[in-house]
Amino acid sequence: MSQPTSPGQEDDLRPEYDFSQGVRGRHYQAFREGTNVVLLDEDVAKIFKDSESVNRALRLLLDLARREVPKDIHG
């Protein structure tokens, strides 16, 4: 039994599509484990336009974090 569509919403699925045996969330956990999507805050996304620029900045940060700090930084 199909549910009626919401007001203002048309059913545009083709008749040959049958989701009556579908299970909601069936692949949810596998998807969560296989993805590493990160959502950037708006101010950060304005600077980093694509994944390449984000990865480049993070690799630079990792490189800096791994460097040894001299014990006597004043001279």
pLDDT in tens, 59-75: 999 999 999 877 776 76
- Which pLDDT does position 6 carry in this prediction? 66
Q: Across all residues in the chain, what is the average pLDDT? A: 85
2: pLDDT strictly greater than 60? no
Contacts of 41 (CB under 8 A, 6+ apart): none
With contact defined as beta carbons under 8 Å apart, do 54 and 48 qualify?
A: yes
> Does any domain span residue 11?
no
> Does any domain span residue 20?
no
pLDDT in tens, 34-53: 778 889 999 999 999 999 99
Prediction pTM value: 0.47
Q: Which domain holds residue 53?
A: 40-68
* Number of domains observed in the structure of the chain: 1
Token digits of residue 35: 């993805």
